[in-house]
Structure 1
Amino acid sequence: MIEFDWHFFIVGAPAIMFGGISKGGFGSGAAFVGGAILALVVPPGAALAVILPLFMLIDVATLKPYWGKWHTPSAKGMILGAIPGVALAAWVYTAVDADFFRLLIGAICLGFVAFQLARAQGWLRIEQMPFSRPFAWGAGLVGGFTSFVSHAGGPPTAVFLLSQGLSKTAYQATTVITFWAVNWMKVAPYAFLGIFTWNTLLGSLLLAPFALIGAWIGVRAHDYVPERAFFALSYILLVVTGVRLIWVAVA
């Protein structure tokens, strides 16, 4: 049960705005920071349930500006690959407890930052390569799994999309259409597993204005805000959040 006190709003409002900005203008890679931060003040399952309708709302708000600008083969391959990924994650969800998900979300946070740091320092190079359908399916499978358990499908799919050498806008548009589809895949399993409740839906409703504000900012910031500045803040938030979630899980 979520308590809609000042803790919920002071953490949830900026968290979902940040997620909206990422999904709206910066490729969704760091959007999961919103759910990870919210999981600091509500149970992980409740955080998943609150965030999903909000991300779906952001998807609708951002589809029009990027409509038709995506790389169709990449989007189609990842969407198809996400189907078994979501199914596998739904099975895992029934077999583990909340601390496992805190640990997993925390590890994904720190792993994403480590991956981006390795790229920035030149320790890891992602070479441009021709489109590969099996690679797209694999990226979609991993992305579908991580999207289900922590709304963190962006990092694994980013590896594949970066290898395609897409333009900034094509990259952004491909993530928008892909996760619009993936988020719809998660609705039925979330409902069947009891992740959604009237309490979590009320939480989504209360935070919906902040999601739309974040999406609006993200779309307009796409061409103006330096990616370096945005992601620097993302990485700081992800490190702090990841360490905190892991600490809570193992304590």
Structure 2
Amino acid sequence: MLVLDWVFFAVAGPAVVFAGISKGGFGSGAAFAAASVLALVIEPGQALGVMLPLLMLIDLSTLRPYWRKWDGRAAVLLILGGLPGVALGTALYRIAEPDVFRVLIGAISVGFVLWQLSVKRGWVKMGNHKLPNWAGALAGAVAGFTSFVSHAGGPPAAVYLLSRKVSKTQYQATTVLVFWVINIAKFVPYAFLGMFTLQTATANLVLAPFALFGAWLGVRAHYMVPERLFFALTYVLLSLTGIKLIWDGLT
């Protein structure tokens, strides 16, 4: 049972603001850190159930600032691939134990950091050509799956979008549209799997202002705050929480 005490809200409040900033201004890449942090203090399934309605609220509040600024072709391919990915995530969730998801969320967190460092250091080359359409659909499928199991769909979508050399704002707008649709698609299976309860609904009501405030900050920070500083802090947070989740899941 989810206990809504001061410890939960002390952890959840800043985490939700962080998710709003990431989704509102920095391409959603680090928003799943909020679910990783919450999974340190509550069951992984509860963390996912708490975060999804808040992420949907953030999506809705950031659609207008980025309306029609997206890459339409990329968005369609990612969405078409993302829906089967959500279905695959649903199937896995029904047969897996909570510790499996602790390890999976932790591994995705650490893997994301390692991937970003590899790209920054030049160990992994993104290439100078646009990836083909099938790669966009494949990236969408991976994004749909990782989004379902850990709200971490941003990284696979980023690989495809960055290959298209989109602008900063076009990249941000595309991720807003894509994950707005994918998160809507996740809602029904989440409800069917019992991930929404009276306690998660109560937590959503209390945390909604944090989500909206974070989204508001994110939209403004998109044009003001250096991405390098924001993501440096994100990488540290994800590394620590990811290692802790893997340790908890294995022990």
The interval holding the TM-score normalised by the smaller chain is: over 0.9
What residue is the counterpart of 1:24 in the other structure?
A: 24
CA RMSD of aligned residues (A): 0.8
What residue is the counterpart of 2:185 in the other structure?
A: 185
What residue is the counterpart of 2:7 in the other structure?
A: 7
What residue is the counterpart of 1:87 in the other structure?
A: 87
What residue is the counterpart of 1:66 in the other structure?
A: 66
Matched position secondary structure for 1:4: coil
**In 1, distance between residues paired with 2:113 and 2:66?**
27
Matched position secondary structure for 1:182: helix
What residue is the counterpart of 1:229 in the other structure?
A: 229
Letter in 2 for 1:16: V
**In 1, distance between residues paired with 2:22 and 2:2?**
25
Contact 1:54 1:208 in 2 (8 A): yes
What residue is the counterpart of 2:112 in the other structure?
A: 112
**In 2, distance between residues paired with 1:130 and 1:157?**
13
Structure 1 stretch 35-44 or stretch 128-137: which is displaced more? 128-137
Question: How much does 1:100 deviate?
Answer: 0.2
Contact 1:128 1:162 in 2 (8 A): no
**In 2, distance between residues paired with 1:127 and 1:217?**
33
Query: Within the alignment, does 1:216 sit opposite 2:212 as a pair?
Result: no
Question: How much does 1:172 deviate?
Answer: 0.3
After superposition, residues 74-223 of structure 1 pair within 5 angstroms as: 74-130=74-130, 132-223=132-223
**In 2, distance between residues paired with 1:128 and 1:185?**
33
What residue is the counterpart of 1:250 in the other structure?
A: 250
Query: TM-score if structure 2 supplies the norm length?
Result: 0.99
What residue is the counterpart of 1:55 in the other structure?
A: 55
Question: How much does 1:129 deviate?
Answer: 2.2
**In 2, distance between residues paired with 1:128 and 1:160?**
12
Residue ranges of structure 1 left out of the alignment (5+ in a row):
none
Contact 1:79 1:181 in 2 (8 A): yes
Matched position secondary structure for 2:130: coil
Question: How much does 1:108 deviate?
Answer: 0.3
Question: How much does 1:118 deviate?
Answer: 0.5
**In 2, distance between residues paired with 1:77 and 1:128?**
20
Matched position secondary structure for 1:94: helix
Contact 2:131 2:160 in 1 (8 A): no
1:117-171 Cα offsets, whole Å, 9 max, x none, are 0011111110132352211110110000000000000011111111110000000
**In 2, distance between residues paired with 1:153 and 1:245?**
19
1:89-129 Cα offsets, whole Å, 9 max, x none, are 10000011000000000000000000000011111110132
Aligned length: 251
**In 2, distance between residues paired with 1:141 and 1:129?**
21
Residue ranges of structure 2 left out of the alignment (5+ in a row):
none
Letter in 2 for 1:86: V
Runs of 4+ in 1 over 6 A off after TM superposition: none
Q: Matched residues, percent identical?
A: 57
**In 1, distance between residues paired with 2:245 and 2:153?**
18
Contact 1:46 1:200 in 2 (8 A): yes
Structure 1 stretch 129-138 or stretch 79-88: which is displaced more? 129-138
Contact 1:93 1:149 in 2 (8 A): yes
